[in-house]
Chain A
Amino acid sequence: MSWVALRMLTGNRAKFMGIVLGVTFAALLIAQQASIFCGLMLMTTSQIRDIQGAQIWVMDPNVQFIDDIKPMSEVELFRVRGVPGVEWAVRLYKGLSRAKLDDGTFQQVILLGLDDASMVGAPSEMIYGSIADLRRPDAIIMDENGYGQLWPGEKFQPGKVFEMNDRRAQIVGLCKARPTFQTFPVVYTRYSQATKFAPPERKMMSFVLANPQPNVPVEEACRRIIDQTGLQAMTNEAFAWKTINYYMLKTGIPINFGITVFLGFLVGTAIAGQTFYLFTIENLKQFGALKAMGAGNLKLLGMIMLQAAVVAFIGYGLGVGAAAFFGHMTGGTSQLAYFMPWEVLWGTGVAVVLISILSSLLCIRRVMVLEPAIVFQG
């Protein structure tokens, strides 16, 4: 009877599309909002992923996420270097500074100070210039989007000058950087330079970047650093997750997106459920005739579930496809965070299955209790 069920479902094109669109809309809304959420969460870890070259991040034990800077004394660097299994360790400055432009306006920037000797953590993709140019006096490298933010519409000019903390800064290179959560321009410079560009503080060292010796596993090296220095030490990935978890637990972002996703679920259930229910009611006489002719409840149940499954499958495909298309369209052009991991696809699938189960439950009930005798009523 499955072909009969499918023909009943698709017999009226407009109604069939109505039911499918309900599910599509729900899947789109859920997948899209969840992807933006994942994108935002990923964005919080942009700088962890941009600062490459070291496997281990070492920081003050109270640091909760990447932008939570608790400066350490320089002594800690040497203590980390002294931990057996650590091959090398270098300083990293990370903080906010204010750029003063020619026209006298100020703009917040993210300032990164790289170890003068090794330049560990330097940008991996240069658009103009090279890392070595950072050795020149007052030199900084800025990220492409940041440049556009400070000087909108202006073509990149090497050698452009501005001020930070009343000191001259000269742009010697342009690099790519992942969009950050704070959306400020990113400025790379040498550590010694950064301490002059930054507002003066008693302690300046934000992080220590370290690598284990080749025969020592990263986790083992981290554990030894923790044991010997009392600092926090973790892998890039662990630090990224720590940052994500902070935003998940300590901010309203997940709740806001959760509400939108839930609303999408409700609206989808309402639309799909209503259209599917109306569809069943309209076909009640047909179901009654089938029942009279000897189709048992189990068979009719199978037919309705097949119909619901087909609607769910098509609606899911269209909805998730549309969400992916949306991400593709916006991903390249704007700063909008969009990341669709398989968990989003999976979760949307579960939601769609729930929607179709909820929608078909009412229909199933109606058909189960249906008296076949209604077929004789004119």
Chain B
Amino acid sequence: MATVDKQPAIRCRNLVKEYGSGNSLVRALRGVDLDVYAGELTLMVGPSGCGKTTLLSVVAGILEPTSGEVDVLGTDIARMAQWRKVKFRRDNIGFVFQQYNLLPALTAAENVSVPLILAGVPKRKAVEAAIKMLNQMDMGSRAHALPSKLSGGQQQRVAIARALVHHPQLLVCDEPTSALDAKTGHTIMEILRNVAVEGDRAVIIVTHDSRVLEFGDRIARMEDGHIVSVSPEAATIAAH
């Protein structure tokens, strides 16, 4: 059997997240163990309500776990101070949302530039870099359009450009295709496959769309607050 010499980019152990308390207590994560590797696209699938979004939020550092370990890029983010977590997200994580969440008053290029602006890059340089990123997404011609003038697929491409423009180590996407028709969803997955997976960036995509499973390097199946299987197992990929 081949040895695993690769360090995971994300390592969760016995991760628990509970919402509310008393009678209204919801145990969304019930002891999750998961490794996500750099340079790979990990798909997280499972029925609605099983805890995928919750897990993604904890891993991305925007939700506090109730207990357990969560190690992201070599840092224990569960025990990180709020302000450091904000900076950690800004520097290391790209977000893609189901509802795109673009700022409606900003053009596509300006939207894409926001993570760079947050990092202190001057606006002109940031927008230049944003336009370059949009070109990679075949969106160069719509760089100065407002989101309301773009189709859903185009908006999601802008959102992906925004998530990647500052070259984060980790990209998290929550149901990036479920607001789109099948064909557009397929294109978006291709873009994520071809553009996002680069160098040692780890990409996690949450989906319940079984048609996109072919794009994943690794599929983590979730049920009822647990990871029930990961395929292929870490050893298998590490071996080839």
Question: Is B235 among interface residues, defined by CB-CB distance under 8 A?
Answer: no
Q: Which residues of B approach A to under 8 Å, CB–CB?
A: 53, 56-57, 60, 62-63, 83, 86-91, 93, 95, 97-99, 101, 103-106, 110, 114-115, 117-119, 123, 174-175
Contact indicator B98/A378 (Cβ below 8 Å)? yes
Complex Cα gap A7–B119 (Å): 19
Q: Residues of A contacting B110 with CB < 8 Å?
A: 4, 7
Known contacts A294-B118, A375-B97, A376-B174; decide if A4 and B106 are in contact (CB<8 Å): yes
Q: Which listed residue, B57, B93, B117, touches A4 by the CB 8 Å rule?
A: B117
CB distance from A56 to the nearest CB of B (A): 65
Specify the chain B residue showing the minimal Cβ separation from A374. B62
Cα-based distance from A286 to B99 in the complex (angstroms): 11
What are 12 A-B contacts defined by CB distance under 8 Å?
Answer: A4-B103, A7-B110, A10-B105, A11-B104, A289-B103, A294-B90, A294-B119, A376-B53, A376-B56, A376-B97, A376-B98, A378-B99
Q: Which residues of A contact B97 (CB under 8 A)?
A: 289, 375-376
Which residues of B lie under 8 Å from residue A12 when comparing CB positions? 105
Contact flag A296-B86 (CB < 8 Å), given A3-B123, A4-B114, A376-B56: yes
Q: Any chain B CB within 8 A of the CB of A290?
A: yes
Q: Which 3 A-B residue pairings sit nearest by Cβ, starting from the closest?
A: A294-B90, A11-B105, A372-B62
Chain B proximity mask over A318-357: 1 for CB below 8 Å, otherwise 0: 0000000000000000000000000000000000000000
B227 smallest CB distance to A (angstroms) = 18
Q: Chain A's nearest CB lies how many Å from the CB of B176?
A: 11
B63 touches A371 (CB 8 A): yes
Q: Is the CB of B62 within 8 A of A371?
A: yes
Neighbouring A residues of B103 by C-beta, 8 Å: 4, 7-8, 11, 286, 289
A278 at the binding interface (Cβ < 8 Å): no
Return the chain A residue nearest B88 by Cβ: A294
CB distance from A281 to the nearest CB of B (A): 15
Interface residues of A in 271-294 (CB under 8 A from B): 285-286, 288-294
Q: Whole-angstrom distance from the CB of B208 to the nearest CB of chain A?
A: 12
Once the chains bind, are B63 and A293 in contact (CB under 8 Å)? no
Asked, given contacts A375-B101, A377-B53, whether A290 binds B114 with beta carbons under 8 Å apart, the answer is yes
Cβ of B105 and Cβ of A376 under 8 Å apart? no
Please report the C-alpha to C-alpha distance between residue A322 and residue B189 in the assembled complex, in whole angstroms.
57
Interchain CB contact under 8 A, B101 and A286: yes
A190 to chain B, nearest CB (A): 75
Contacts A4-B114, A11-B104, A286-B103; A292 near B60 (Cβ below 8 A) = yes
A373 within 8 A of B: yes
Known: A371-B63, A377-B53. A7 touches B101 (CB 8 A): no
- Complexed CA–CA distance, A217 and B117 (Å): 66
The answer to whether B62 and A373 touch across the interface, beta carbons within 8 angstroms, is: yes
Chain A 1-15 residues near chain B, CB threshold 8 A:
1, 3-4, 7-8, 10-12
Contact across chains for A295 and B105 when beta carbons are under 8 A apart: no
- Cα(A349)–Cα(B192), bound, Å: 53
Given the known interface contacts A11-B104, A373-B63, A376-B97, the answer about A292 and B89 at a Cβ–Cβ threshold of 8 Å is: yes
The interface bits of chain A over 1-32 (1 if a CB of B lies within 8 angstroms of the residue's CB, else 0) are 10110011011100000000000000000000
